[in-house]
Amino acid sequence: GARAGLQQAAATEAEEDVAFQRIKNGNLVNVYTRRSEVEVERPLGMVLASRPNGKGVVVEELVDGGNAQKSRKIRVDDLLVACAPTGGEGAPEELVPCDELPFDDVMGLLGAAPECPRMRVLVEREEEASADIEALTPEQREKRMRQEYWEDQRARREARWKSGQTANTLGRPSKAITVKSGTILGEGSFGKVFEGTMRTEEGEVAVVLKRAKDGVFGAEELLTSELKISAGA
């Protein structure tokens, strides 16, 4: 099939699992179709190939040390379901479906809006439920899910720290943000709100900053949702 080298990665926004069953070696096994939305720095750092039917592309190879590999959310054989550039002017709000498009059209979408530093991609893969997961009690599954959640949160924060971005800068360098000392405006179950300033092209402006609380399940996701609502207001 057609091939193309790309370089790019950052953090997962959402995941969706759909379960079904399949017969394998005469046995009925549980299979999960997992979709993960990932925000990846450009260049992506992955090689793509056309599917046999000529519609859509799959990940054929991850560049060692590339941004897609660093995201920890994109794997070889993943299907690219949708994508859109982000982080710059003119970036679309919605992902553009591409799982039925020919290779060249998908590459055109991935190369669109070069002024945007990142690309949002939605990938899909099928995974068989492992025997150890099937054997766990609901309480044990909940515990494992929470462990995986905190591991993912640590990976996200590490990626943001390395890229100079934080969760509350809306794409601006973290060094452009200053929190005023002793100016906690409020505190809730999921985060704290501070008074601060932000350097822009027009000068310094006053801003309200919110930080998700460490160790609170779902705090980062709630903050991300609030930022998207604020950005679209």
Give per-residue pLDDT as tens, 121-132: 999 988 766 555
CA 204 to chain centre: 30
pLDDT of the residue at 47: 96
CATH number of 3-130: 2.30.42.10
Closest C-alpha among 200, 207, 219 to residue 179: 207
CATH topology of domain 164-232: Phosphorylase Kinase; domain 1 (3.30.200)
| One-letter amino acid for residue 158 of the chain | E
Q: Taking the domains of the chain in order of start, what are their residue ranges?
A: 3-130, 164-232
User: 4 phi and psi, to 5 degrees?
Assistant: -155, 140
Distance CA 34, CA 25 (A): 23
**Checking phi first, is residue 230 left (phi over 0); if not, alpha (psi -120 to 50) or beta?**
alpha
Q: How far is the first Cα of the chain from the last one, in angstroms, to the nearest whole number?
A: 44
Q: 8: pLDDT confidence band, cut at 50, 70 and 90?
A: very low
Query: Per residue in 152-201, pLDDT tens?
Result: 766 766 666 665 555 445 556 666 777 776 678 888 888 888 888 888 88
HSE (CB half, 13 Å, CA atoms) of 97?
3
Q: 216: pLDDT confidence band, cut at 50, 70 and 90?
A: confident
175 belongs to an annotated ligand binding site? no
- 33: Cβ contacts below 8 Å, ≥ 6 apart: 17, 18, 19, 20, 124, 125, 126
Has residue 222 got a pLDDT over 70? Answer: yes
Query: Per residue in 34-50, pLDDT tens?
Result: 888 899 999 999 999 99
